[in-house]
Chains A and B, each alone.
Chain A
Amino acid sequence: MNARQDQFTALETQRLCELSSCSAGLIRIRWIAGALVILATMVLARLLALSVPEIPLYLTGAGILIYNGGVSWELRRATQLSTSGLKGFIQRLMIGQLVIDWIGLAVLLYLTGGVISPLVPLIPVQVVVYTLLVPGVWTYAAALLPVAALALTAILPYAGLLPPQSVSPAFPASLQRDPVYVFALLVGAALAAISAAYLVSLLQESLRTQVIRTQQLIQSNQAAATTIRMSDLLDKLIYNAAEALQARGALLRLLNDDGEGLSITAACGLSQAYQDYYPEKLAQSPLDREVIDGNAVIVADVEKDARIRFPRHAALDGIHSLVAVPVVGKGHPLGVLGVYSTKVDGFTPADADFLKAFASQCATAIENTRICEQLEHADETRTNFVRMLTHELRAPVGGAQTLLRTLLRGLAGELNEKQTDILGRLERRLDALMALINDLLSLSASRTVDLEAPQEQILLKPIVEAIVDRFSSEAETKQINLTYFAVPDVLSVQATEDGLDRIFSNLISNAIKYTPEGGKVEVTVGEQLGKAVVTVSDTGIGIPLHELSDLWVDFFRASNARRSGIPGTGLGLSIVKQLVNHFSGTVEVRSTEGKGTIFKVMLPLARMPLVNPVRELA
């Protein structure tokens, strides 16, 4: 249930980042320190001719540099480790550095005179470094380590275990043996170390909190931009909210449609038992009522707050405090976002304000999804309406057409010339109306059923061949020479059979429709630059150059097509374009008015599936 325990929490990850960036900083400082020790010894011993322990100091400087090289090499190795191995590795590396640095400082201090060493001001630097590196209760112990090093350099010579050292006669060696001075110095240093440790950890803590919050906000922003399913997005958002406040878990509950109750929509870090105890009705939960009314609520201790009705349930999950803020949509409450901590008094008013940022992200996600759903529903309703309407229109118009044809054929008695002419006009008007209805139906169908149908690998040539066949009698009637040519290769594309049928039957039927008697329509299927290419060319009326760009718009018809009296709706090409785009292809047109038009449809070739895609990746 509690996935959060299996992975790194944001806090741990942040500490790891701090440790490795600290290591990198320390390495830079050590390069300078090692070089400076050698340089300073040279200046003191050679230029100023002072009696310093020259060789041990050179060795110490060289030792620092060599050891630093080793550490930086090790740290580089860390980048190759897995996340789980990284934690242990960085910690071991840190402890190693702490110990060796401490020895380095102790040796340097001893060689330069111990309590009278001019290097004593280096101690606070190490105190700060140790405070940064060692977390929790050990911070203060670690801060005192450098002071202990100083104490050793005083005690060991005093006890006669090591010979006393001094860098300059200006520092009176008698001070080294003065207990009052030594004691006062050590106590002062210890006090300074403790205060520094306190201030540094205070700063570090607040910095860490800010860094984590910023990271979680960035992450949740990224999630909002890249997550499609609302439930996934809400899960991520509340996870980020819990991490940002370094809490145990979070719960997002949304108002039901009746506005009387709350249902859990997303949860993280809390047991099912705890989630189940939540009352659904607002009337039973004064705390939720308060939040829904627009207030942020902080419960410092669940056991002492009267608004918490079942503190024992909270104790099951170790929850001791919580903060809850309203999730507010455009002016109306949507629900409650709560974050839960195992600490008593785990949240401040600043935390509540911060949580509101997440609540507003949740609100945006929810509202966007709801708007999307409404739009989809509206579109579906409209499409269904158009389909229903066109179906209902087809029956009477088809009936009228059928009756009219029997009349025109003289099946209900001979007609005179005038009657035939009038009925012929009537037939043409009805044919145009039927074409419009068919195109509308086809358009609404292509916007629903077809675009959602699963695509498969389809052999292109049989489809085009069948369509050419279908139109051959129509072409013959109009004395149009309809030719078909295809390359021998096997070409398959990723599409739906019906979609391909619609694309090419629209193009071929247009070509025949707008080509005068005795003209030519040519259909070819081939391959070009890894794409299947189907061209439909005609010697028809063509399209005026300045109208070519409008060709794909719903209901657009070229001016010469409208003048020609040939019935049409201007929907065919818009359907073609929509379907070709849907199959990731492109369609181009070239035309010369009065000479002819050529349409070129290019569709990506479907590849055979890889035998072993996994190996391919490796």
Chain B
Amino acid sequence: MAKILIIDDDPDIILAVQLTLEAAGYQVIEAHNGVEGLKKVKAESPDLIILDVMMDTTTEGFQVTLKLRSPDPASEYAAFRDIPILMLTAIHSTTPLRFGPDEDYLPVDEFVDKPIDPDNLVKKVASLLARQQA
């Protein structure tokens, strides 16, 4: 049973993601901010991380990603560099910013727009985990 970490400051989103993924047979652990999220990555070593792009500060999601994916071999998260990251965004449809998974700038693997569609979320999680195992 794959272990999924959700990092989001909105408890309602956490609840919804939890309900959705647990129904699909995954184990879900939660974190409410970036610092707690990074601690849980180390403690729980999840198989996949779902990360909200904008938490209390608009850059928190980016910072967590950059720490996890740091190319520095001495990084304390070096062991977790390959955990797939799925980013929750609310800005695709409204701001001029467009992102896609980008090796250099924002090294995440997949995006899901809010509001989250349960089927879409499950589909993307499954495909990321499958890719990881392949």
A423 to chain B, nearest CB (A): 14
- Could you say which of B12, B96, B114 contacts A449, with CB atoms under 8 Å apart? B96
Q: Does B15 contact A (CB under 8 A)?
A: yes
Q: Does A360 contact B (CB under 8 A)?
A: no
Q: Once the chains bind, are B115 and A398 in contact (CB under 8 Å)?
A: yes
Residues in B7-25 with C-beta less than 8 Å from chain A: 10, 12-13, 15-16, 19-20, 23
Q: Does A527 contact B (CB under 8 A)?
A: no
**B-side contacts of A163, CB under 8 Å:** none
**A-side contacts of B90, CB under 8 Å:** 394-395, 398
Binds A, one of B30-38, B61-69, B79-87, B116-124: B116-124
**B-side contacts of A284, CB under 8 Å:** none
Interface string of B101-117 (1 = CB under 8 A from A): 00000000000001111
Q: Does B93 contact A (CB under 8 A)?
A: yes
Residues in A394-409 with C-beta less than 8 Å from chain B: 394-395, 397-403, 405-406, 409
Residues in A414-466 with C-beta less than 8 Å from chain B: 434, 438, 441-442, 445, 449-450, 453
**B-side contacts of A400, CB under 8 Å:** 12
- Could you say which of B19, B20, B94, B96 contacts A438, with CB atoms under 8 Å apart? B94
Q: Does A490 contact B (CB under 8 A)?
A: no
Q: Once the chains bind, are A442 and B20 in contact (CB under 8 Å)?
A: no
Please judge, given known A-B contacts A394-B90, A411-B20, A411-B23, whether A402 and B12 are in contact too, CB under 8 Å. yes
CA–CA, A412 to B116, complex, Å? 16
A498 to chain B, nearest CB (A): 4
A448 to chain B, nearest CB (A): 10
**B-side contacts of A441, CB under 8 Å:** 94-95
B18 to chain A, nearest CB (A): 9
Q: Once the chains bind, are A406 and B115 in contact (CB under 8 Å)?
A: no
**A-side contacts of B19, CB under 8 Å:** 406, 411-412
Q: Once the chains bind, are B94 and A403 in contact (CB under 8 Å)?
A: no
Q: Once the chains bind, are B13 and A399 in contact (CB under 8 Å)?
A: yes
**B-side contacts of A498, CB under 8 Å:** 96, 98
**B-side contacts of A399, CB under 8 Å:** 10, 12-13, 16, 115
**A-side contacts of B114, CB under 8 Å:** 394, 398, 401-402
Select the residue from A402, A406, A441, A450 with max chain B CB neighbours within 10 A. A402
Please judge, given known A-B contacts A403-B15, A438-B93, whether A411 and B10 are in contact too, CB under 8 Å. no
B48 to chain A, nearest CB (A): 18
Q: Once the chains bind, are A406 and B12 in contact (CB under 8 Å)?
A: no
CA–CA, A483 to B118, complex, Å? 29
**A-side contacts of B116, CB under 8 Å:** 402, 405
A353 to chain B, nearest CB (A): 56
CA–CA, A118 to B15, complex, Å? 120
Instruction: Give the number of residues in A that approach B within 8 Å (Cβ atoms).
Output: 24
Please judge, given known A-B contacts A398-B114, A398-B115, A402-B115, whether A409 and B95 are in contact too, CB under 8 Å. no
Q: Once the chains bind, are A406 and B118 in contact (CB under 8 Å)?
A: yes
B59 to chain A, nearest CB (A): 15
Q: Once the chains bind, are A405 and B16 in contact (CB under 8 Å)?
A: yes
Instruction: Give the number of residues in B that approach A within 8 Å (Cβ atoms).
Output: 20
**B-side contacts of A449, CB under 8 Å:** 96
Residues in A183-206 with C-beta less than 8 Å from chain B: none
Q: Once the chains bind, are A434 and B115 in contact (CB under 8 Å)?
A: yes
Closest to B118 in A: A409
- Could you say which of B93, B95, B115, B118 contacts A411, with CB atoms under 8 Å apart? B118
**A-side contacts of B119, CB under 8 Å:** 409
A222 to chain B, nearest CB (A): 40
CA–CA, A390 to B15, complex, Å? 23
- Could you say which of A405, A442, A453 contacts B115, with CB atoms under 8 Å apart? A405
CA–CA, A398 to B6, complex, Å? 17
CA–CA, A577 to B125, complex, Å? 40
CA–CA, A412 to B23, complex, Å? 9
**A-side contacts of B118, CB under 8 Å:** 405-406, 409, 411
CA–CA, A399 to B90, complex, Å? 11
Q: Once the chains bind, are A442 and B16 in contact (CB under 8 Å)?
A: no
Closest to A399 in B: B12
Interface string of A316-337 (1 = CB under 8 A from B): 0000000000000000000000
- Could you say which of A405, A434, A445, A453 contacts B95, with CB atoms under 8 Å apart? A445
Closest to B12 in A: A399
Residues in A337-369 with C-beta less than 8 Å from chain B: none
Q: Once the chains bind, are B13 and A402 in contact (CB under 8 Å)?
A: yes
- Could you say which of B10, B12, B15, B96 contacts A450, with CB atoms under 8 Å apart? B96
Closest to A430 in B: B115
Q: Once the chains bind, are B16 and A403 in contact (CB under 8 Å)?
A: yes
Q: Once the chains bind, are A401 and B115 in contact (CB under 8 Å)?
A: yes
A155 to chain B, nearest CB (A): 95
**B-side contacts of A453, CB under 8 Å:** 96
Q: Once the chains bind, are B117 and A405 in contact (CB under 8 Å)?
A: yes
**A-side contacts of B15, CB under 8 Å:** 403, 406
CA–CA, A453 to B118, complex, Å? 36
B17 to chain A, nearest CB (A): 8
A224 to chain B, nearest CB (A): 38
Given contacts A411-B19, A445-B95, 17 further A-B contacts (CB under 8 A): A394-B94, A395-B90, A397-B115, A398-B114, A399-B13, A399-B16, A399-B115, A401-B115, A405-B16, A405-B115, A406-B15, A406-B19, A406-B118, A411-B23, A445-B94, A445-B96, A450-B96
- 14 A/B residue pairs, CB under 8 Å, sorted by A: A395-B90, A398-B114, A399-B16, A402-B16, A402-B115, A405-B116, A406-B16, A409-B119, A411-B19, A412-B19, A438-B93, A445-B94, A445-B96, A498-B98
Q: Which residues of B pack against A, CB within 8 Å?
A: 10, 12-13, 15-16, 19-20, 23, 90, 93-96, 98, 114-119
4 closest pairs, A vs B, by CB? A401-B115, A399-B12, A498-B96, A398-B114
